[in-house]
Structure 1
Amino acid sequence: MGVEVPKPSATAKWGYWKFMRQVGEFAKASAVIYHDEHKQITRCAIGALGRQPLLLHNPEKIFDGTLTPANAIKESLPDRDFAEMTMHVTAIERALSIARNRSEPGK
């Protein structure tokens, strides 16, 4: 079994962040964002939900700032208690900051 992953363009940006209490433990919250303007692909996912990771709705709006991470989570997980999702909101914000501030796109 294998997975084929397309090569990102030279301008692709990404960021990843996870919270854990100490090194080696499972994450309490995690987020990843990938934005490839050239290929018109944007993805944003959160993990550490007690299930498989979740791709959030409207990742382009999350990346460009027209949709806040908090509202993105509320839209994608309307039945979840928002108070327990605050670490996930912060994880998205930090992953976004990393992606937007990469001095070398794609790295």
Structure 2
Amino acid sequence: MYSILVDVSARTLTLLRDGIPVKVYPIAVGKILTQTPQGTYTIINKAINPGGPFGTRWLGLSRPHYGIHGTNDPSSIGKAVSHGCIRMFNKDVEEVARLVSIGTVVRIVE
């Protein structure tokens, strides 16, 4: 079973399978005024090509209005620039979206 660990300070998303790291991806996180919320959430919905600034995939979290998504601005990856969501390169979020399902646990830590 897959789970996700987001390390806000390292700006990484780690995909785990049965608790063992499978792959680490670079991400962008929330800026100071709109920080990425720490805690444990689950993926509650998934969308392909959600439109707007969300790149090619959306993985909605159980915290309303927050998710893991792609970006139309790849230069933002590695920075604290979002409104609190976790941004990934489109190719990376597509890979993660193929592997995880609704109900996947997402733990966000500092």
Query: Does the alignment reach a TM-score above 0.5?
Result: no
Structure number, greater radius of gyration:
1
Q: TM-score range by the shorter chain?
A: under 0.3
Tell me the TM-score normalized by structure 2: 0.27
Tell me the TM-score normalized by structure 1: 0.27
Q: Higher strand share goes to which structure?
A: 2
Q: Higher helix share goes to which structure?
A: 1
